Homo-oligomer: A and B are copies of this chain.
Amino acid sequence: MADKLNVLGAEDLSSMIVEAPFHQWMGLSLLALTEQYVDLQIRWREEYIVNPQRRYTHGGILAAFIDLAADWAIAAKFGRGVPTVDMRIDYHKAAMPGDLWARGRLLKLGRTCSSAEAVVYDMEGTMLASGRGVYLTAE
């Protein structure tokens, strides 16, 4: 299971992730796909802001981005997005205006539940948030 190969190529995954209206709203795009990880990017939006004075991004946006990067790291192995069972997010640093990218990585593929982790960075490579989730991968 640890060596399960991707069943999606970069082109497939690129076109699948733009189907969701929510992903379109976030301006989601694929940066890289390997057997070990998936790198995704979102475009900054004024609506992300939680604090109008300090202008940083709502933690819910980072949570959504971690969820989807972890999810697509698993999806690359299964050929489809998988339902999230639960997730945990740690916030490390305020996300200021600007695009963001995230790396999603498998932790463990299982028959019923699989786990993956993701880290969100700004475009200078500073870690802003990280987390992990469990996904339902039963047929």
Contact = CB atoms under 8 A, between A and B. Distances in A.
Contacts of A25: 47
Contacts of A50: 20-23, 81
Given A58-B22, A60-B61, A112 B136 contact: yes
Give the 6 A-B residue pairs with the shortest CB-CB distance, closest first. A60-B64, A22-B58, A63-B63, A25-B47, A92-B108, A21-B49
B52 A60 contact: no
Copies held by the complex: 4
B113 A136 contact: yes
Interface residues of A, number: 48
Interface string A31-57: 000000000000000111111100001
Tell me what chain A mostly uses at the interface: helix, strand, loop, or mixed: mixed
Nearest to A128: B108
A21 to B, nearest CB: 4
A11 interface: no
